[in-house]
């Protein structure tokens, strides 16, 4: 699973831009149908992982089956464009401007990681977003610039807490700022940093985010 998970995380640029297009075309949100009392998630929720998730998703657990996922998140639907060999993707709007993506192993059909994709209105939104994460989770574990060959450059900021982690990835292209938050097991996230050729950012460069070349 680790290699496939790392490969999926390394292609943050294309994934985020695809999700942004999906967000722009998705229908207006509707109220979720009420869950019946029979819809009980059997996979135990790990409190350490739950603390990294936004409140609406804190009943999710890595390793839960696709049946459990859809029971807990009834608005989640398959996203064929984001599915690939070895993994399945489900998604749903989360609030007005965020798309939640749930990636599952295609063989076991169990949840591998959660991704939250959004687009910021401008550079002024970056610092408040980071400060909010620091208020929730404390100082980050690291800051990296990632420039793997053939992939757009990204700035990644990570919070590793025990067996789990959260990585916030910023992609700036054509004056747009796309952000994807990855929530997964710590080893999956660390493997993705290595595969994406991520290097620690010195303090004097914290404010200088990498920018992708303009595209037509």
pLDDT tens-digit profile of 122-163?
889 999 999 999 999 999 999 999 998 888 999 999 999 999
Q: CA 195, CA 1: separation in Å to the nearest integer?
A: 14
| The pLDDT value given to residue 149 | 87
H or E element, residue 154: strand 154-161
Stated length of the chain: 216
Q: What is the pLDDT of residues 16-57, one digit of tens each?
A: 444 443 333 333 333 333 444 344 447 899 999 999 999 999
Say how many Å lie between the first and final Cα of the chain, rounded.
35
Domain boundaries, the chain: 2-23+46-205
Per the rule left: phi > 0, alpha: psi between -120 and 50, beta: everything else, 98 is beta
> What pLDDT was estimated at residue 108?
94
pTM of the complete model: 0.80
pLDDT in tens, 155-204: 999 999 999 999 999 999 888 899 999 999 999 999 999 999 999 999 99
* pLDDT, tens digit, 9 for 90 and up, residues 69-116: 999 999 999 998 887 778 999 999 998 889 999 999 999 999 999 999
Q: Which two tokens stand for residue 116?
A: 């939250």
What's the pLDDT score for residue 27? Answer: 34
- What integer pLDDT is reported at residue 4 of this predicted model? 43
Is 179:169 a contact under the CB 8 Å cutoff? yes
C-alpha 150/C-alpha 20 separation (Å) is 21
Distance CA 212, CA 172 (A): 6
CATH class for the domain made up of 2-23+46-205:
alpha beta
Kindly report the number of other CB atoms within 10 A of residue 83's CB atom.
15
């Amino acid at each position: 699973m680790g290699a496939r998970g790392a490969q999926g995380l390394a292609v943050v640029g294309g994934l985020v831009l695809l999700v942004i297009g999906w967000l722009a075309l998705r229908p207006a949100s509707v109220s979720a149908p009420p869950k019946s009392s029979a819809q009980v998630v059997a996979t135990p929720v790990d409190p350490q992982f739950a603390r990294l998730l936004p409140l609406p998703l804190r009943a999710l657990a890595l390793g839960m089956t696709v049946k459990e996922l859809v029971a807990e998140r009834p608005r989640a639907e398959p996203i064929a464009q984001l599915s690939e060999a070895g993994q399945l993707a489900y998604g749903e709007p989360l609030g007005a401007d965020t798309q939640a993506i749930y990636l599952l192993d295609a063989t076991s059909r169990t949840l591998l990681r959660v991704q939250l994709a959004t687009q910021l209105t401008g550079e002024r939104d970056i610092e408040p977003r980071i400060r909010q994460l620091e208020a929730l989770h404390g100082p980050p574990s690291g800051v990296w610039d990632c420039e793997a060959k053939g992939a757009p450059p990204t700035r990644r900021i990570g919070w590793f807490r025990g067996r789990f982690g959260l990585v916030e990835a910023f992609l700036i292209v054509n004056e747009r700022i796309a952000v994807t938050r990855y929530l997964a097991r710590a080893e999956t996230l660390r493997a993705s940093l290595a595969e994406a050729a991520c290097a620690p950012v010195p303090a004097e460069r914290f404010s200088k985010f990498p920018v992708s070349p303009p595209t037509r």
